[in-house]
Structure 1
Amino acid sequence: MVKERVTVIDIAHAAGVSKSTVSLVLQGSSLVNEATRAKVNAAIRDLGYVYNRGAANLRQSKSKIIGIVVNDLTNSFFAELAVGVDAVVQSAGFVQFLANTGEKIERQREVVASMREHGVSGLIISPARGTEAADLAPLVESGIPVVLVVRDIAGANVSSLISDNHAGAVAAVRHLIERGHQRIAFLGGFSDTAVFEARMRGYRDALVEAGMPVSESLIIGSAPSRAGGVTAVEQAMMLADRPTAALCFNDAVAFGVCDGLRARRLEPGADFAVIGFDDVIEAKTAVPALTTVSVDPQGMGQRAAELLLKQIKAGKAEPEAIVGSVRLVVRQSCGAAVERKREALA
């Protein structure tokens, strides 16, 4: 009776890890902790697995595949980003593989390892929270072109494409101040990300520029999602001195803020001014239409793809750092003016 060949899947099952983790161990990657590495190696010995490096190298030869790794596919921003990437890579004869990490670094490592197994020609990554330069070092060492989008990582030595988050926040808060608001909240977002830091800095700088105090009670972080927006505005409405307007971390949060306001029988745009950030497709058709800082998600995807293809064609990954311009798109959701609200209450 011929013994069946032991596979990577068998090793993964025996060690209680994913196939991608086994592949990382076989490749000698430093991304796997020693305890996990020991379990995998023990399973390899017990099952008598033989690693065919020649076949592995053949699998890892470059293909016409572009990998896209995003941190939150539930946010329509990333779907629009992927559409932009596809428009460019498709015309260049490439196909894209899209993976969602859900903000989990371990999942990010697994999908990147899997994409490398399939011989991707390059990667566009919106990093999960907590990603460090060391996490990208194996990619840099392998020479695979990488473009970071939305979130940059200091010292990563790869190309990046981000939006001018600071300028966008400044423009949004200035607009609210011009409409007479003095109690302006900043709602949503994880405080440990560079995007949050830049948008928060813009919010603060615009208030200081206008000679207005920065109240820490008006800065309420939450998950950057619709549900997070509901949670954030609920906290804001419990303050003794409530805000009359809010700059939201992104459009998803802004939609949630509108939901939370309506639950309190307050109408966005009439009773409370709301500004989002991103300008996703739904912003224009929302009721009321959402005022937002446009970063052009599809355009960002197109530019990221063009940058990546340029590096692939050149055969080397020369890092470039690009900061895209933004603009404030004024619609109905910021229509709440303090003067009109005071008149109604008089």
Structure 2
Amino acid sequence: MGERVTVIDIARAAGVSKSTVSLVLQGSPLVNEGTRARVNAAIRELGYVYNRGAANLRQSNAKSKIIGVVVNDLTNSFFAELAVGIDMTVQSAGFVQFLANSAENPDRQREVVNSMREHGISGLIISPARGTAAADLKPLAAAGIPVVAVVRNVPGARVSSLLSDNAAGAKAAIDHLVSLGHRRIAFLGGFPDTTVFAERLGGYREALGAAGLDCGDDLVMASAPSRVGGMVAIERCLALANRPTAALCFNDAVAFGVCDGLRKVRLDPGADFAVVGFDDVIEAKTAVPALTTVSIDPQGMGRRAAQLLLKQINAGKVEPEAVISPAHLVVRRSCGSSGALGEGHIGGLPMQGAATVAL
């Protein structure tokens, strides 16, 4: 054949459409094996060579099927669950997830975001590293790439955000601990220079103030939002002269560390000291004791973040939107409430599994 073989020639020889040939060339799983074999036989017979570089150039102005996801701490199972929720949603929409961990390093975050842009991401979901500024996200907005900031907000950045109702969740936790008779309640863990810390601490202080209880700085023990951070915080907490009897922890990882620290000094979480977490990761339900926690549904949050991003991608324009995800208290044994009344009961009333206190 003197002239260059085209996709149309392949389609005619194989008795299929041009788009089917394109799908075979891209390795799409949407083509059945019989059709794929027929197309590949025509390709071999006609001597067609697929120019992938040219194809990439043709597609450079089209949207890729890649979603960038950057989280600040993948060692925290909350973010693994968040990523699972995102992945479930973007996969069903025909996209793939490109996941990276910034490990709270803004420079590392900048590098991975730039790398994702080089791969032609259609959009970005980011839980920003500490110290992320609005200027860090401006190049994405300028390039017309939709961005959803999840878990943490970036003040001044014109991007969409999906945050949890941190203040209301913290207030529900403190109200519950107060109802159990606690009067000295600590706030343990978290980095003070993050908006999430400020919001959860604000709800904690508001609830204690409304109950006429002490909410002084001596009861706030900032530390890394990790299991190790929880152990450090509870050690400092137990060293106070007027020792608290309960604590709201910045997140579940801190709460697990607090329980470890209590057991280390032969105190029983739930019986000798009430512990409440924040997030409701999968392990919270199966921990010993089962962890009372403020649930913000990490997988559900991931799904909602992905839906928010896909809506903007499909619209073909960036219109920032702010969404607040609800929180509710899930009462289990670690706060002492279920342990006192028998598993699966709160306030003397029977319930299915754990009790949930809606906000």
Q: TM-score scaled by structure 1?
A: 0.80
Q: CA deviation at 1:62?
A: 3.1
- Name 2:218's counterpart in structure 1: 217
Q: Secondary structure at the match of 2:167?
A: helix
**Alpha-carbon separation, structure 1, partners of 2:118 and 2:84:** 24
Q: Which amino acid aligns with 2:124?
A: L
- Name 1:259's counterpart in structure 2: 260
Cα RMSD of the aligned pairs, angstroms, is 1.8
Q: Which amino acid aligns with 2:300?
A: G
Q: How does 1:128-139 map to 2 (within 5 A)?
A: 128-139=129-140
Verify the 8 A CA contact 1:66 1:121 in the aligned structure 2.
yes
**Structure 1 residues 118 and 292: alpha-carbon distance in aligned structure 2, compared to 1, 3 A threshold:** same
Verify the 8 A CA contact 2:251 2:279 in the aligned structure 1.
yes
Q: How does 1:177-216 map to 2 (within 5 A)?
A: 177-216=178-217
Verify the 8 A CA contact 2:146 2:318 in the aligned structure 1.
yes
Q: Secondary structure at the match of 1:332?
A: coil
Q: How does 1:44-123 map to 2 (within 5 A)?
A: 62-123=63-124
- Name 2:329's counterpart in structure 1: 328
- Name 1:236's counterpart in structure 2: 237
Q: Deviations over 1:292-313 (max 9, x none)?
A: 0000000000000001000000
Q: Which amino acid aligns with 1:258?
A: C
**Alpha-carbon separation, structure 2, partners of 1:281 and 1:178:** 27
Q: Which amino acid aligns with 1:146?
A: V
Q: Which amino acid aligns with 2:285?
A: K
Q: CA deviation at 1:71?
A: 0.1
**Structure 1 residues 128 and 155: alpha-carbon distance in aligned structure 2, compared to 1, 3 A threshold:** same
**Alpha-carbon separation, structure 1, partners of 2:242 and 2:99:** 45
**Alpha-carbon separation, structure 2, partners of 1:153 and 1:115:** 20
Q: Which amino acid aligns with 1:269?
A: G
Q: Secondary structure at the match of 1:333?
A: coil
**Alpha-carbon separation, structure 1, partners of 2:115 and 2:93:** 23
Check if 1:304 corresponds to 2:305: yes
Q: Deviations over 1:56-111 (max 9, x none)?
A: 99768631000100000000000000110011110110000100000000000000
Verify the 8 A CA contact 1:59 1:117 in the aligned structure 2.
no
Verify the 8 A CA contact 2:184 2:214 in the aligned structure 1.
no
Q: Secondary structure at the match of 2:139?
A: helix
Q: Quick check: 106-115 or 210-219, which moved more?
A: 210-219
**Alpha-carbon separation, structure 2, partners of 1:64 and 1:170:** 41
**Alpha-carbon separation, structure 2, partners of 1:61 and 1:232:** 51
Q: Deviations over 1:103-135 (max 9, x none)?
A: 000000000000000000000000000111111
Q: CA deviation at 1:314?
A: 0.4
Structure 1: which 4+ aligned runs deviate by more than 4 Å? Answer: 55-61
Computing the radius of gyration from Cα coordinates, the structure with the larger value is 2
**Alpha-carbon separation, structure 1, partners of 2:256 and 2:104:** 21
- Name 1:147's counterpart in structure 2: 148
Q: Secondary structure at the match of 1:161?
A: strand
- Name 2:280's counterpart in structure 1: 279
**Structure 1 residues 311 and 189: alpha-carbon distance in aligned structure 2, compared to 1, 3 A threshold:** same
**Alpha-carbon separation, structure 2, partners of 1:128 and 1:60:** 30
Q: Which amino acid aligns with 2:305?
A: A
**Alpha-carbon separation, structure 1, partners of 2:58 and 2:243:** 61
Q: Which amino acid aligns with 2:221?
A: I
Q: Deviations over 1:9-50 (max 9, x none)?
A: xxxxxxxxxxxxxxxxxxxxxxxxxxxxxxxxxxxxxxxxxx
Gaps of 5+ in 1: 1-54, 341-346
Q: Deviations over 1:163-186 (max 9, x none)?
A: 000000000001001101011000
**Alpha-carbon separation, structure 2, partners of 1:260 and 1:58:** 55
Verify the 8 A CA contact 1:103 1:129 in the aligned structure 2.
yes
Verify the 8 A CA contact 1:226 1:252 in the aligned structure 2.
yes
Q: How many residues align?
A: 285
Verify the 8 A CA contact 2:106 2:130 in the aligned structure 1.
yes
Q: Which amino acid aligns with 2:295?
A: S
**Alpha-carbon separation, structure 2, partners of 1:320 and 1:249:** 26
**Alpha-carbon separation, structure 2, partners of 1:104 and 1:203:** 28
**Alpha-carbon separation, structure 2, partners of 1:86 and 1:336:** 36
Q: How does 1:158-173 map to 2 (within 5 A)?
A: 158-173=159-174
**Alpha-carbon separation, structure 1, partners of 2:143 and 2:295:** 35
Q: Percent identity?
A: 71
Q: TM-score scaled by structure 2?
A: 0.77
Q: Which amino acid aligns with 2:329?
A: L
Gaps of 5+ in 2: 1-55, 342-359
Q: Secondary structure at the match of 2:262?
A: helix
Relative contact order higher in (CA < 8 Å, ≥ 6 apart): 1
Q: CA deviation at 1:207?
A: 0.5
Verify the 8 A CA contact 1:60 1:118 in the aligned structure 2.
no
- Name 1:34's counterpart in structure 2: none
**Alpha-carbon separation, structure 1, partners of 2:94 and 2:216:** 52
Q: Secondary structure at the match of 1:277?
A: strand
Verify the 8 A CA contact 2:331 2:337 in the aligned structure 1.
no
**Alpha-carbon separation, structure 2, partners of 1:212 and 1:117:** 54
Q: CA deviation at 1:153?
A: 1.2
- Name 2:21's counterpart in structure 1: none
